[in-house]
Structure formats: C-alpha cells, structure tokens
Amino acid sequence: MKKLVVTTIAAILLSGTAYADTIKVGVIGPFSGPFALQGKNFKAGIDAYMALNGNSVGDDTVEIVYRDVPQADPAQSKALAQELVVKEGVQYLAGFYFTPDAMAVTPLLKQANVPMVVMNAATSAIVTKSPLVVRTSFTTWQTSTPLAKVAFDKGIKKMISVVSDYGPGIDAENAFKTGFEGLGGSVVETIRMPLATNDFSPIMQRIKDSGAEGVFAFLPSGPTTLGFVKAYNENGLKAAGTPLYGPGDFTQESDLPALGDMALGMQTGFHYSVAHDSPENKVFVEAARKAIGNPAELSFPAVGAYDGMYVIYKMIEATGGEQDAAKAVEAVKGLSWTSPRGPVSIDPESRHITQNIYLREVAKADDGTYYNKEIQTFENQKDPGLAAAK
C-alpha cells in the first residue's frame, strides 16, 4: 500500500499537472525620471486588473517583475529583457512605453519562447517585427487618421505638421498627411523635431511663418506634450485662433490640472478618455485610482496595461501555464471583449487591437476640473498604418 502511494505521488509530480507554478511576467517601462508617471500608470492598470481578477489563473500564481527604463533606451531595454528571460525566467514580456524599447526586444522573443504584450508603444511596424507580439494600446495611425477629416471639415485647407522625429511621430505625420491631402487639403510644411527637444519657441515661430491655418502635432505623452501645449499658448498661437489638432497624448488627464485653460477646447483623437461613460470604465477607474493613490494621476497607459493583463491571463489559461509562446499568441487572435475604453478585439492578422477612436474636446466640469469629453466616435478602427509598415 505504501509503495502504491509513493508511486502515485511520483507519477503526479512527473506529469507536472497537479503542481501549482508561479508564472512570471516581466514588465519594462519608465518607473523613474521625467516619464515616471507613465510607468506608474502601467503599474496601476496591472494592479487594478489583479485586484479585480485575482493573482492566479487556474492553479498558477501570476507574479509581476518590473524593470525600469526611464527614457527611450533600446540597449538598456534589450539588456533588461535578456536578464528577465534568463535570470528571472519570465514567461511573458510586457509594458514598453517607447517604441525603440519595444523594437529592441522583438528579435529575442522567438528563441526565448516568450510572447510580448505591448501596453503602449504606438508605431505600426512593431507588430510586424515578430509573430509573438500582441498590442493592446493604439497606433498613431489609428489616433491621427480621423483628425484629418475633423480639421478639413472645419474648413481648414492649409495645415502644418510638427512631430517628434521617431517611429510614432513619423507614422502620425504620414497618417495626417495622407488623410488631409486625400480630402483635398495641403500640408504646407512638415517639421520633425529631435525627441529631446524641450525649447519649442523656435518651432512656434516656424508655425507662424508657414502661413498654415492650423497645426497637426504629435509628441510622446509626458513633459514633452506639456511643454509643447504651454509653448503654443505662450507664443500666442491659441489666442490667434490657430487650432492645434493632435492625438490624445497631448491632453492626458494627468496633465490637465497643470494645463488648465491652456488646453480648454482642444480637440484630440484617442482610444481612451478617463471620462468614458460605461459600466466597465467605472469599475476600472475606481480600481485604478485606488491603485495609483492620487486620482488625478490616472491616464491612458493604465488602460493599455489593464487590457494587456486581460490578454496575458487568456494566454496563461490557453496554455495551462506551460511555456508555449506560439500557442499563447494563437489563442488570443480574434479575441474580443469590452474594455474600459469600449468594444475591442485582437485583429487575427496583425495582432493589434481593433477599437473605437474618439474625437474628444477638453471641457471644464461644474466642479472646476478638466476632462476629455467624447464628442464623436469612429467605430471599430483597425490599424490603417499596417499597409504602410509592410
């Protein structure tokens, strides 16, 4: 009898099925430095998801291991991803605020047998760099394309484009130009600024000199966008009635208290507003605000992270906790659910998220706080940039 029990226990241990594992998810993002609030929002989204859905999938416990890349730094991102895979034994890589940090890691995925869930980085081409990439954020092609029609329908014929000179900026410029010129407008000048630019006065002068009736712009959200909107106001462009259109990175909720009236009335295109009116968003906002501590700090990277965790939990479920990156990714192709942002799905072909893009206008609530009011919905948008990325 004793022998039988021992043999049975040994068989269970060998088959591995009756054993609970810890599944580690490595999350890379800016957790210190000027973009720390963006990383804090990744963490708030992840914490909110785990607070609402538990920290286990089946028999397995999920553990998050964070690594800090304060500013876009592909070499550091790659080194940390390697360390996470080799030393920490993570089964999933996630996060990635800046495009270059995501791009640097895609070549590692196949050999490591690890899927990557991009929770922010927004250059279309990232998903084409490895079949193991899934993205739950947005692309600047998605968020910029509807703005071309919005500006054109306002009667504007001449626009100037100003973007940060790297992946998502170049995509945004191409998206806006393609849309606006397709409608019959013209983009009279395209300016690409180094990512590190923080004195925008010379740019504002070039905008004035261009003769454009309106500005389209993209910068990665953070001190960058805050500085740009301030300069646009301080250099008299807003007062002169030259509208500024851009993706919602410009008016992230965590910057609205500092921008105040400078942002009032500004129209942006984006996948998510903290003010989105739905039961799913109420649940999310409450949990994410609790996680972040200061309610005014909640911003869009949290929703990319929250939905990223939804996708990772589905992957763990589909693989029964075994490390099989191809099977995990296959399982979420075509997955659809109701996100706090609205209805979404993972496009099976691109592995990028299909979603509504909202036109929003910064408004002032009765209590004096500012918010992104959704005023128009462009439904069920796939990434229009993928054709361009191929």
d(CA 23, CA 58): 11
Residue of 156, 214, 143, 146 whose CA lies nearest to 185 = 156
CB of 107 to ligand PHB, least distance (A): 18
Site string for ligand PHB, 244-263 (x = CB under 6 A): -----x--------------
CB-nearer residue toward ligand PHB: 49 or 166: 166
Contact positions with ligand PHB (CB under 6 A) in 122-151? 122-123
Shortest Å, Cβ 250 to ligand PHB: 9
- Interface with ligand PHB in residues 80-99 (CB under 6 A): 97-99
Residue nearest to ligand PHB (CB): 220
Q: Closer CB to ligand PHB, residue 99 or residue 267?
A: 99
Q: Which two tokens stand for residue 105?
A: 């890691």
Interface pattern 165-184 for ligand PHB (x via CB under 6 A): ---x----------------
Q: What is the 3-state secondary structure (H, E, C) of 91-148?
A: CEEEECCCHHHHHCCHHHHHHHCCCEEECCCCCHHHHHCCCCEEECCCCHHHHHHHHH
Least distance (Å) from ligand PHB to the CB of residue 36?
14
C-alpha distances in angstroms, 123 versus 26, 45, 100, 224? 21, 21, 9, 18
As measured in angstroms, the least distance from the Cβ of 218 to ligand PHB is: 8
CA 225 to chain centre: 15
**Which backbone phi and psi does 87 adopt, to 5 degrees?**
-90, -40
Which CB atom, from 91 or from 252, has the smaller least distance to ligand PHB?
A: 252
Q: Which of 221, 233, 268, 273 binds ligand PHB (CB under 6 A)?
A: 221
The residues in 1-30 that bind ligand PHB, with binding defined as CB under 6 A, are none
Provide, rounded to whole angstroms, the least separation between the CB of residue 87 and ligand PHB: 26
| DSSP per position, 322-388 | ---HHHHHHHHTT-EEEETTEEEEE-TTT-BEEEEEEEEEEEE-TTS-EEEEEEEEEEEE--TTHHH
Q: Cβ closer to ligand PHB: 218 or 284?
A: 218
Q: What's the min distance (Å) between Cβ of 7 and ligand PHB?
A: 55
How far from 139 is each of 45, 163, 170, 175, 355, CA to CA, in Å? Answer: 19, 14, 11, 10, 11
In the complex with ligand PHB, the residue whose CB is nearer, 221 or 355, is 221
Q: How far is the CB of 252 from ligand PHB (least distance, A)?
A: 8
Question: Of the two residues 249 and 374, which places its CB atom closer to ligand PHB in the complex?
Answer: 249
311-370: which residues touch ligand PHB (CB under 6 A)?
A: none
Residue closer to ligand PHB (CB basis): 97 or 228: 97
Smallest distance, ligand PHB to C-beta of residue 272, A: 12
Contact 139, 171 (CB under 8 A): yes
Q: Does 213 interact with ligand PHB (rule: CB under 6 A)?
A: no
Tokens of residue 38, six digits? 């963006």
Query: Nearest approach, Cβ of 176 to ligand PHB (angstroms)?
Result: 15
Nearest distance from residue 289's CB to ligand PHB, in Å? 21
CA–CA separation, 353 and 135 (whole Å): 6
Phi and psi, residue 273, nearest 5°: -120, 135
What is d(CA 141, CA 147) in angstroms, rounded to the nearest whole number? 10
How many amino acids of this chain bind ligand PHB (CB under 6 A)?
11
Considering only 52-60, 73-81, 115-123, 366-374, which stretch makes contact with ligand PHB by CB under 6 A?
115-123
Q: Write phi, then psi, for 165 (nearest 5 degrees).
A: -85, 70
Least Cα distance to 218 among 162, 139, 302, 263 occurs for 162
What is d(CA 18, CA 11) in angstroms, rounded to the nearest whole number? 10
**Contact residues for ligand PHB, defined by CB under 6 A:** 97-99, 120-123, 168, 220-221, 249
